[in-house]
Amino acid sequence: MVPARIDAVLQEARRGLVRVGPEDLSAIAAAGGLIIDTRSQDQRSRDGELPGAVLVERNVLEWRLDPTSPHRLPEVRDSDQTIVVVCDEGYASSLAAASLQALGLVNATDLAGGYQAWLRSQGDGGR
């Protein structure tokens, strides 16, 4: 069986990322990095919010985070800022982070395992 093309695309996207774990998020935020939650409203309602994260719908992610965009978030400082994209399980966020790197955001990455990994790291379910 031939692997799905998306698996190859995902693998290529991750080659350029220095993925982080749930234990890294607090230090990244404290150092001025942005934690970006791209999960859907349904997922956030079902599983809870990620403390300190900025909510950005995936369909506008690049416009909100490109430092040269007139539609960027005020929290975006420059192309060197660390940005950690979080999705539900860490797949879509890898593709999104690679897209941000293509825009010149050199320290864009994602949370390995996504929100579900963060939730498991909380021990009590994160709630």
Question: Looking at the DSSP assignment, which residues form a beta bridge with residue 111?
Answer: 20
- CATH class of the domain comprising 5-121: alpha beta
Residue 58: Cβ within 10 Å count: 17
- Asked whether the whole model's pTM tops 0.85, one would answer yes
Question: What does the mean pLDDT of the chain come to?
Answer: 94
Helix ranges restricted to H, the chain: 5-15, 25-30, 41-47, 61-65, 92-102, 114-121
- Predicted confidence (pLDDT) per residue in 64-73, tens digit: 999 999 999 9
- Predicted confidence (pLDDT) per residue in 44-92, tens digit: 999 999 999 999 999 999 999 999 999 999 999 999 999 999 999 999 9
Question: Do the Cβ atoms of 81 and 105 come closer than 8 Å?
Answer: yes
> What are the boundaries of each domain within the chain?
5-121
Distance of CA 121 to the CA centre of its chain: 17
Exposure b/e, 7-38, CB count within 10 A at least 16 = b: eeebeebbeebebbebebbeebbeeebbbbbb
Question: Do the Cβ atoms of 81 and 108 come closer than 8 Å?
Answer: no
